[in-house]
A and B are shown apart, each in its own frame.
Chain A
Amino acid sequence: MGAYEKVLKARNSNRPSGAFFVNRMITKFVEFHGDRRFSDDGAIVGGIGFLNDMPVTIIAMERGNDVNERIKRNFGCPSPEGYRKALRLMKQAEKFNRPVICIINSSGAYCGMGAEERGQGLAIAENLMEMMTLKTPIISVVTGEGGSGGALALSVADSIIMLENAVYSVISPEGCASILWKDSAKADEAAEALKLTANDLYNFDVADKVIEEENMSYDEICDNLKCEILAELSELKDMPIDELLEKRYQKYRNIGKL
Chain B
Amino acid sequence: MIGNFFKSLYGEKENKVCKKCGRSYTYSELVKHSMICPNCGEYFRMTPRERLVMICDKFEEIDANLTSENILNFPNYDEKLKTATKTSNSKEAVVYGVAEIAGQKFVIFVMNSEFMMGSMGRVVGEKITRAFEMATEKKLPVVGFTTSGGARMQEGIYSLMQMAKVSGAVKRHSDAGLLYITVLTDPTTGGVTASFAMEGDIIIAEPNALIGFAGARVIEQTIGQKLPEGFQRAEFLQEHGFVDIIEKREKLKYTISNILKLHSC
Contacts and interface: CB of A to CB of B under 8 A. Distances in A.
A170 B72 contact: no
A115 interface: yes
Interface stretch (A43-51, A61-69, A86-94, A192-200): A192-200
B95 interface: no
B10 interface: no
Given A116-B219, A170-B156, A206-B161, A121 B171 contact: no
B240 A117 contact: yes
Nearest to B73: A193
Interface in B218-250: 218-219, 222-223, 227, 231-232, 240-242
A115 B153 contact: no
Interface residues of A, number: 50
Contact of A112 (B126, B168, B223): B223
Contacts of A258: 66, 122-123, 126
Contacts of B129: 253
Contact of A180 (B151, B153, B161, B232): B153
Interface stretch (B14-22, B98-106, B192-200): B192-200
B72 A115 contact: no
Contacts of A153: 194
A208 to B, nearest CB: 13
A152 interface: yes
A249 B168 contact: yes
The prevalent SS among residues of B at the interface is helix
Interface string B155-195: 11111110111011011101100000000000000110111
B223 A120 contact: no
B126 A111 contact: no
A125 B158 contact: no
A20 interface: no
A128 B195 contact: yes
Interface string B69-95: 001101110000000000000000000
Given A124-B194, A258-B66, A194 B167 contact: no
B97 interface: no
A193 B16 CA distance: 38
A120 B172 CA distance: 23
Given A179-B153, A206-B161, A121 B194 contact: yes
A180 to B, nearest CB: 7
A149 B160 contact: yes
A111 B218 contact: yes
A170 B164 contact: no
A109 interface: yes
Interface in A124-162: 124-126, 128-130, 132-133, 148-149, 152-153, 156
Give the top 5 A-B pairs by smallest Cβ distance, nearest first. Answer: A121-B193, A128-B167, A111-B214, A124-B194, A121-B213
Interface of A: 109-113, 115-122, 124-126, 128-130, 132-133, 148-149, 152-153, 156, 168-171, 175-176, 179-180, 189, 193-196, 200-201, 204, 206, 248-249, 252-253, 255-256, 258
Given A121-B198, A256-B158, 11 more contacts: A116-B214, A118-B240, A124-B194, A125-B195, A128-B167, A129-B171, A148-B160, A149-B194, A170-B156, A253-B165, A255-B158
